[in-house]
A and B are shown apart, each in its own frame.
Chain A
Amino acid sequence: MIPPAKSHLTGAAMAVVLLVVLIQAYLFETVLEAVLDGQRGALPGALAVSALLSALALFLAFKIQHVSRIPSGDAEKAPTLDQHK
């Protein structure tokens, strides 16, 4: 019997997403502090880094779909996510 296929986010991907959010929070706090001090020089760089991190987090959370627990020989017969729904 084929175990049910499942959209599975690996622990590593989850950890990366959480790490990205932590870095983003720290980055935003630092940038806001600098802007309130009247120094805007770091804004372009911070925006680029933040956009990159967000793209990574969104990609991991929305795009990557790992189908787990499917025996290699039965991969073609395995039900898809749509069939389970």
Chain B
Amino acid sequence: MAGWKSLFPVDLAEESRLSRREFARFMALVSAGFTGGIGYLYLRRKPLDGAPASAGDHPAELKVCRAEDLALGNSFLFTYRDAKDRCILIHTPKGEWRAYRQTCTHLGCAVRWDGRRLECPCHNGAFEVELGFPVAGPPTRPLSRLNVELRPDGWVWVHGDLPKPTLPGQGGDA
């Protein structure tokens, strides 16, 4: 008998046999693994890669740029909560102002403004500019949105806790 067979004396037929209880135990351990994962997220103090700092750690509002410096149909990149929290300010062709987190809700690539909608170059995802909802590609969740305010002094300010936008009639700030 080969050496490895004496070390693992299990027949192939026995190897594939799995009782209901053994399967249930495996599933229970998987469940415990999920709990461990949530516990790790709870105990971890530092934000995950790509995640912003907690909502209380950022200024309530931010002065982004002068309105006259951003022509219709153009965008401006800025950071909001911390250096990793990249956001994008858009002056839409209709003359409206929108600001979103630049992180795609699929796998976290940076979305970019193409003059009509926000596109993710990684997997060809796209988001409409009105509310940030996905309209093409793999993303299923909308972009996080900031409130934009154009003040009398000509500066564009953003503020908010980056809540998920909701469809009109469902409540929220959309």
How would you classify the secondary structure of chain A's contact residues: helix, strand, loop or mixed?
helix
Restricting to B97-137, which residues have a CB under 8 Å from any CB of A? 108
- A27-B34, A47-B42, A50-B34 as given contacts; A36 in contact with B51, CB under 8 Å: yes
A65 → chain B, closest Cβ, in Å? 9
Q: How large is the interface on B (under 10, 10 to 19, 20 to 34, 35 or more residues)?
A: 20 to 34
Docked pose: A51 CA to B36 CA in angstroms: 9
Neighbouring A residues of B29 by C-beta, 8 Å: 58
Neighbouring A residues of B55 by C-beta, 8 Å: 38-39
The answer to whether A24 touches B28, judged by C-beta atoms less than 8 angstroms apart, is no
Q: Is B54 an interface residue (CB 8 A)?
A: yes
The answer to whether A54 touches B32, judged by C-beta atoms less than 8 angstroms apart, is yes
The answer to whether B41 touches A43, judged by C-beta atoms less than 8 angstroms apart, is yes
Docked pose: A31 CA to B42 CA in angstroms: 10
Give residues in A with beta carbon < 8 Å to B: 7-9, 13-14, 17-18, 20-21, 24-25, 27-28, 31-33, 35-40, 43-44, 46-47, 50-51, 53-54, 57-58, 60-62
Give residues in B with beta carbon < 8 Å to A: 20-21, 23-25, 27-32, 34-35, 37-39, 41-42, 47-48, 50-55, 81, 85, 108, 141, 144, 161-162, 164
